[in-house]
Structure 1
């Protein structure tokens, strides 16, 4: 392990450089990392990478899901709950069923149960891939909300299908009523466990004397405790993390200080940045291990099977997207739906094209045991693993590289907003200043007349209300202010060097204040 440490360290540096390159050439970084991992794996003398599925499920998955749950809007999730749950559960099940029948019919030696096992593995799209791609193009808020919401839930539904199929292969039987009870417990128990543990941690933050560092550490251990607790009770650890994360996200202003919230965001963004980079690099690096276990079938035939399953997944998701729109248009006649307008053919197609697969699929395939309980080799394990790899690679390359072009070419109509995001932001900024002035003059009129500092604050809010939007956003003003801040930094550093007895910590406080002022420029 210690001998390989320089290799792993160089991988992290390579990941950072490759993501920088991806941002430069405007390509989604998961695509570039997988390709780079493939190329590195062919270099002679490179250590063979072995991915332990427990490493993915336990180390990587809980924090990534938890961070995604903190980032999503509960309001948007609830607004689009019907289409999100249909994609996360119904579409995942239909996808797994489609893969099962196709694999059973076209791949020699594949039973229907093995087909469902493969379907459960490859059915969930990867949220990180779609999110990385959508960074470079503008899509309506409703689409990003649906994709984010689906990604939170589809991993749990696909892993449930995978577990039941795995049990059926191992035991040779499938008892439907036992499966129904187990499925219900995984759903209800997972959500319940996540909410209970989330509530406990919220109370810990509220009533124990924590500081900022303790708050951040507690947020980092929370998803692991949720996941492990649910898995120990044979429930869904993924649903526990998602439900608990959503609960705590909506209560964050009740139990976390402003300092903890601000610093926590920085820590979590850095952590998830490197975790996401590592998992996609590992996918490419794992190719030698995957191909080494492929026996009894030629590489060309295995690639053909992978292409076939990929086509089924892409076509099935696009058809499901159009089907979801049709059902919504029919259902609006009987129930209240989030939007009664017809989105046309563009939105469902793009929604269907965002079906890139990722590391959860590979981890599920790797977690298939080598042997059955009776000691026999697990049937078709290596072929399932290879097909999963081909599916991930092709969906990332084909859909990942073409999605930005299609979004720009199709020009999806925005059915929600009549104003731009910047216009809405500055409108609320003016209303916020007006609200502050009213509160100040209503409740603190005496202090306002006696305190110069409060008078200065009131004048600032009045100026915010008076300045037009285009003046607030003037880039020229931002550049001038940025130059002044840099000049102040140089002055502080020079003063610190010249005055030997001056406490440097005082200078650092002023420098931190200038950093915060510069950060505020992105909100002006």
Structure 2
């Protein structure tokens, strides 16, 4: 049994890797492609039915995925966009849950308002990975990406709280608004407190204990599970514990890690997160046989019409919320107008359209108990089917259409501002390096060629940065700068070809060849990450 499960897991990892390469080849975001592929694979005769256990998602997959997202989120950008993020991650979740509750209560016979709130809590949060991966490589303003990523960090927690409160209402038959609100605040606040408390302990361990790169990497994997399990043990928000702890440690990361730890941790996390995301999305697609089981009490036309209507309503609710939520505060508050740049309606529409649902919604639906008060949970299979269709509808329809909408709306990123920031930073770093060399190694600069060459190199960096800053509005100059970077990348390829010849000629040791290849890798990474 263990060998069979192990073989299945390894097979899934291999399939995810192959399908992701294929998605890159045909230009489709890999979460969308994996869901579609999983859906098609589920129809293959003899394919074992794989059931996605909600405990796997909430305990195994969710903590590291949230932690990685929080770690890569800029606290400065997150805080600067806190109003927009709060309106989406809390306000929109509650608005969506309420709207879905009343619509399903009116639409589906026997669907109570409490059941509607359960469904609303399930389908209200957009998926973090789906939005980020779909937008990856697309030219959108940085603020749009910050808002969407920040929203997805917090909305899982608020939607799960709504889901649990509604579920408790069905089980007990009692709902008191003020008590639900108080429970909401207590669960959220204490989740943040626990996350920050554990993060401070881990900060002390990373900062003052004699850790190694391997220990640092291991601790970063232990951290999200420690935060999540501790908070959930006390019935508080594990999601907010992971997010708050991750943001705190990310903000302090420059004090904690050596360069070896940073490099090793980044590489390992990139691989693990890729595999976790891939497995989750392909498992979503593979759930169809399990989802449609037990739908015998409904006709096909009924369940399909319910699911499609709710999917469309979910998309419209987000659009209805986002536009007033963006422009009304600007109209009503002078400080908002002064503090935040006015967004174009095109970028606002992209935020409104980027509401792809994902694995948290499906895991929440699967977490609905089989029995309530000794009786089968009413409409449980319908909950599962509607959730699956909403995920498929939003992920595929909105996800595939997003690149074409960005192109049609002529939305452009803010590369120019990033170029200025990059040039300013390069200039200041090179300037302080020059000052240090002149103060401490002036004699060596005069007498030894290597010192003089390094000084000239930094002077060239300052000149190049100043050129970018002076000609930042000149399109022709910007084109030359980008062509210059392309030339540097092409030179790296030429160097790689020469290293290959040296390897074939056995003219150098393998150790030296690997060292030079690593240097070229770092140089290429620096050039490709530059704005």
State the 1:169 CA deviation. Answer: 0.7
Shift of 1:424: 4.1
Instruction: Kindly provide the CA deviation profile for residues 79-114 of structure 1, in whole angstroms up to 9, marking residues without a partner as x.
Output: 111011010001110000000000000111100000
CA deviations over 1:387-419 (Å, ceiling 9, x no partner): 1001001111211111111111011366xx582
8 Å contact kept, 1:489–1:514: no
Look up the match of 1:39: 40
Task: Give the aligned partner of residue 498 of structure 2.
Answer: 487
Q: 2:461 is matched with which residue?
A: 464
Aligned counterpart, 2:489: 478
The normalised TM-score by structure 2 is 0.91
**1:355-370 equivalent positions in 2, closer than 5 A:** 355-370=355-370
User: Which residue pairs with 1:229 in the alignment?
Assistant: 230
Q: Conserved in 2, the CA contact under 8 Å of 1:198 and 1:247? A: yes
Query: 2:149 maps to what in 1?
Result: 148
Deviates more, 1:323-332 or 1:166-175: 323-332
Following superposition, the deviation at residue 306 of structure 1 comes to: 0.7
Cα distance in 1 for residues equivalent to 2:401 and 2:326? 23
Bigger shift: residues 130-139 or 203-212: 130-139
Question: Which residue number corresponds to residue 352 of structure 2?
Answer: 352
- Quick check: 258-267 or 331-340, which moved more? 331-340
**Which ranges in structure 2 are unaligned for 5 or more consecutive residues?**
469-479
| Residues 1:131 and 2:132 are matched in the alignment | yes
SS at the partner of 1:395?
A: helix
Scaled by the length of structure 1, the TM-score of the pair is: 0.92
Q: In the aligned structure 2, how far is the partner of 1:108 from the partner of 1:298?
A: 13
Distance change >3 Å, CA 178–CA 454, structure 1 → 2: farther
Q: How does 1:98-497 map to 2 (within 5 A)?
A: 98-333=99-334, 338-339=339-340, 341=342, 343-372=343-372, 374-412=373-411, 417=414, 419=416, 421-422=418-419, 424-442=421-439, 445=442, 454-467=451-464, 470=480, 473-491=484-502, 494-495=505-506
How far, CA to CA, are the matches of 1:493 and 1:422 in structure 2? 40
Deviation sequence 1:272-328 (CA, Å, 0-9, x none): 111111111001101111111223212221111111111111111001111112222
CA displacement at 1:22 relative to structure 2: 1.7
C-alpha separation in 1, matches of 2:445 and 2:158:
58
Q: Which whole-Å CA distance do the structure 1 matches of 2:441 and 2:199 have between them?
A: 38
Shift of 1:68: 0.5
Distance 1:523 1:489, change over 3 A: farther
Unmatched runs of 5 consecutive residues or more in structure 1 = none
SS of equivalent to 2:10: helix
Q: Deviations over 1:364-406 (max 9, x none)?
A: 000011011x311111111111110010011112111111111
- Partners of 1:215 and 1:333 lie apart in 2 by 46
CA RMSD, Structure 1 to Structure 2 (Å): 2.3
Partners of 1:509 and 1:393 in 2: how far apart? Answer: 46
Displacement of 1:340: 5.1
1:415-470 Cα distance to aligned partner (Å, 9 max, x none): xx582534542343233212321243346556756776544432221122234553
Kept in 2: contact 1:318–1:349 (CA 8 A): yes
Offset at 1:335?
5.5
Offset at residue 20 of structure 1 (A): 1.7
1:353–1:445 Cα change, 3 Å: same
In structure 1, the residue matched to 2:474 is: none
CA contact (8 A) 1:26 1:136 kept: no
Q: 8 Å contact 2:32–2:395 — kept in the other structure?
A: yes
**2:59, 2:225 within 8 Å by CA — same for their partners in 1?**
yes
Query: Is contact 1:318–1:348 with CA below 8 Å preserved after alignment?
Result: no
Give CA-to-partner distance per residue, 1:331-352, whole Å, 9 cap, x none.
Answer: 33365663253x3432222211
